[in-house]
Structure 1
Amino acid sequence: MSSPPQAPARLEVTSVLRALADPVRLDLVRQLSRSGTAIACGRFDTTVAKNTLSHHFKILREAGIIATHRDGGQALNVLREDEIDEAFPGLLNAILR
């Protein structure tokens, strides 16, 4: 049985921009955007250590860019694209290009 996604964080443009300023986090968000679906934490194409990757996911969650939910033994990450576009129209598209 899967747990529901975490409650969305309040989106603030400065937090979103600060989180996406890091190249690793920006790449994670690009991968989520391209996939169009949830990605398990261990399935991202990255060379950073697991504990460092966990830190990057935490920053992205706290900024409200991603939501993470558990499905069985996996933590699945989803891009909160609709919420970000509603709050800041065109911002994500401009950054991810």
Structure 2
Amino acid sequence: MRVRYRHRIAERHLDALAGEMQARGWARLKLYVESPPVLFVYADGNEESALSIAATNTGGQWVFQTSRLIEYPCEAVIPVANILSDVLRDRMPDAFR
């Protein structure tokens, strides 16, 4: 039961981030059957530059993880969306800019 509860919390955090990323024009793919659930964001038509983001509970705090080393607090959805948008723009080939 605890695992399912944590999974739902992770989904809520990822849904909030997905909405912010979509508002900025990014495509997204939700893979919530995974454990932990994963959100992919990318430029439409440029899936190879996608970022994968998980929401995990680390040390009692919920964080977005873009890699095992980079974590952003889940309560800072708008600043995180801004950072991830910058990262995605940097990853895009010139044809997509």
With the length of structure 1 as denominator, give the TM-score of the two structures: 0.26
Structure ranking higher on relative contact order (CA contacts 8 Å, 6+ apart): 1
Q: Rg: which structure is higher?
A: 2
More helix by share: 1
With the length of structure 2 as denominator, give the TM-score of the two structures: 0.26
